[in-house]
Structure 1
Amino acid sequence: MSADPTESWKLTLPCTRAEAEAIDMGEGLEGFDPSPVIITSEEIEDDPLSWRLDAYFSGKPDATIVAAVRALAPSSAAVKAKAERVPDEDWITLSQAGIEPVHAARFYVHTSANKGDVPPGAHAFHIEASRAFGTGHHQTTTGCLLALDAMKVQGKRFRNILDLGTGTGLLAFAALHLWPRAYATASDIDAAAISITEENAEVNGIPLGAGPGALALAAAPGLEHPLLIGRAPYDLIVANILAGPLIGLAPTIAMALAEGGTLVLAGLLDWQAKSVTQAYRRQGLMPVSANAIGDWPTLTLRKRARYGAARVTRLGPGGANDAPGFGSW
């Protein structure tokens, strides 16, 4: 980046729907600080080959980060494009102007640039687009919001909740809204996501802390953190990440889930659902329900009671437990 971070720059590239979905899942720009804001949009309705990538930079981007952004859209390799300086305006607001609010059951998610009218009876969350995944505008996050709402409608109660791979904190915020007396924990492998979650918590009036009704935060791979291990077992875990990590973490997540506990999984495509489900069946979890938005299913599973030799008998933060073997993400 240039020495003047007040300058705003933009790079626009064509891309495909598949590339846009991979970008929306937060892939490709790990390690850049500051990261550009990436916005993808559909150029021609229902045409999977006609999408667009807009990258907004704070300061003139150098060749390394431009190449990294171009690598997000391999289909544009033959296109000659370069970053251009944009007028001195609020470029974050401009970049978010096309992001429509999301209304998912009782939840309404919006940015500052496009709040719209909050539907009657809906609870609004203000989540800005950022380098962390989970703004509510991807189908996987929306699917999790719908799954959480459905469990509330069914009368489910949870006392100890983990949002694994929290991104922006949105799903943890939603769970706390539904079960305001629960202990809640949110974690992410990316420390930047935890910082973003802290900022979003303040904006949305979510208290941070270790007690009931507050949100505890940890940056960690998988559940490799004393806080995450110490607060296990959880009676609700939400993991909106990717199919590969979900499969690899199956033994760890199952160990951290209380007997009879509920698990919500997302971040996978429809053709990956069978493999993900089988990985958790092997750990003693049974499918309860599934919903899909487009090609992105959300799976809800429940852990069988009294499954496995190394049983976890304590529910909630504090005290010792018998849950060794937490692995890495």
Structure 2
Amino acid sequence: MSEIRLYITTTERRAEAALSLMTDAFEEEGYAIATMEIDEKNDVWEASVYMFRPEEPEIHERFAALLAADFPGVEIQREVLPDIDWIARSLEGLKPVRAGRFVVHGSHDRGTARAGEIAVEIDAGQAFGTGHHGTTAGCLEVIFDVMRKRRVKRALDLGTGSGVLAIAARKLAPIRVLATDIDPVAIRVARENVRLNGIASGIALETAPGFHSTAFGRHGPFDLVIANILARPLMRMAPQLADRLAPNGDVILSGILASQRWKVLAAYNGAGLRHVKTIWREGWVTIHLDNRR
């Protein structure tokens, strides 16, 4: 089935503004969105949303309505993408990513870790998280920073996707990790990645649609909570997430556009957490908070 790209052409600043609107409207539903520089000299960028052909009429209408107020008169352009095995194609260009002491690589780069590095093998697949997105790399960097400074016994990887963050934390230290996702396909993929990385124990994987799941009570409270999701659900779950945190605990949040940072911080400050630092990568931020006062 052919994939369609709907996009607008604009400046970098306006493309980032469009991306923020598109994130709220489309990303929770699983649609891919992106910005791309077309002409550096003349500041020409594209902001795109991707869908399959039968979905195009509905998404085109919603995209136009979304842009109407802030982008009056902008032309929505259309591209039909060829049927390509994008997973195989993406693997050709995925190079190892280094963050902290971690190196995340695909099976095609097995053996790439240098002395002292912790290798995590993740191939592009059905679940989000190969380490190449700025949010995942930012989380890896903060995980390493937190765990080298303090002892963590129990960690939660909320919205685990491919399992990359849970695997990294478990490889860094012999801790107990609960990895959850609302999508059973993600849990299946993460379980296979745990096996692929030679982890026999220490990671519990469960499908959990929300904090009302019994999994959190059985495995918590948590010294470290990692949630690489999206800004809106992160803000909504702030009180519940804070309640699952052990005393003197740390929280790592990502999946947050730079423009959304202050809203997320306000939600977690309101839940009693303290901002420690923010890491910026490729227009996205990773936020480290704790409940130490």
| TM-score normalised per structure 2 | 0.77
Q: 1:202 aligns with which of 172, 176, 195?
A: 195
Query: What is the CA–CA distance in structure 2 between the aligned matches of 1:39 and 1:94, rounded to whole Å?
Result: 19
Confirm whether residue 142 of structure 1 aligns to residue 142 of structure 2.
Answer: no
Residue 218 of structure 1 aligns to a residue in which SS? strand
Q: 1:163 aligns with which of 146, 157, 163?
A: 157
Shift of 1:222: 2.6
Q: Give me the CA root mean square deviation.
A: 3.4
Mark the runs of 5 or more structure 2 residues left unpaired by the alignment. 10-14, 65-73
- Residue 282 and residue 92 in structure 1: after superposition, are their counterparts in 2 closer, same or farther (change >3 A)? closer
- Residue 146 and residue 271 in structure 1: after superposition, are their counterparts in 2 closer, same or farther (change >3 A)? same
Confirm whether residue 176 of structure 1 aligns to residue 175 of structure 2.
Answer: no
| Counterpart residue number, 1:49 | 45
| Counterpart residue number, 1:121 | 116
**For this pair of structures, how many residues does the alignment match?**
273
| Counterpart residue number, 2:279 | 291
Shift of 1:278: 1.9
| Counterpart residue number, 1:257 | 245
| Counterpart residue number, 1:310 | none
Per residue, is there more strand in 1 or in 2?
A: 2
Query: What is the CA–CA distance in structure 1 between the aligned matches of 2:135 and 2:55, rounded to whole Å?
Result: 27
Query: What is the CA–CA distance in structure 1 between the aligned matches of 2:93 and 2:34, rounded to whole Å?
Result: 10
Residue 267 of structure 1 aligns to a residue in which SS? strand
Query: What is the CA–CA distance in structure 2 between the aligned matches of 1:149 and 1:40, rounded to whole Å?
Result: 28
Question: What is the correspondence of 1:1-329 to structure 2 with a 5 Å cutoff?
Answer: 18=16, 27=27, 30=30, 42=36, 44=38, 49-50=45-46, 63-64=53-54, 77-79=76-78, 81-82=79-80, 84-85=82-83, 92-113=87-108, 117-154=112-149, 156-180=150-174, 182-207=175-200, 213-304=201-292
Query: What is the CA–CA distance in structure 2 between the aligned matches of 1:276 and 1:105, rounded to whole Å?
Result: 24
| TM-score normalised per structure 1 | 0.70
Percent of matched pairs sharing the same residue: 36
Query: What is the CA–CA distance in structure 1 between the aligned matches of 2:39 and 2:89, rounded to whole Å?
Result: 22
State the AA in 2 paired with 1:191: P
Deviations 1:4-38 (A, max 9, x none): xxxxx676776776578968xx92664xxxx9xx7
Residue 27 of structure 1 aligns to a residue in which SS? helix
Contact 2:273–2:290, Cα closer than 8 Å, also in 1: yes
- Residue 71 and residue 126 in structure 1: after superposition, are their counterparts in 2 closer, same or farther (change >3 A)? farther
State the AA in 1 paired with 2:45: L
Contact 1:15–1:73, Cα closer than 8 Å, also in 2: no
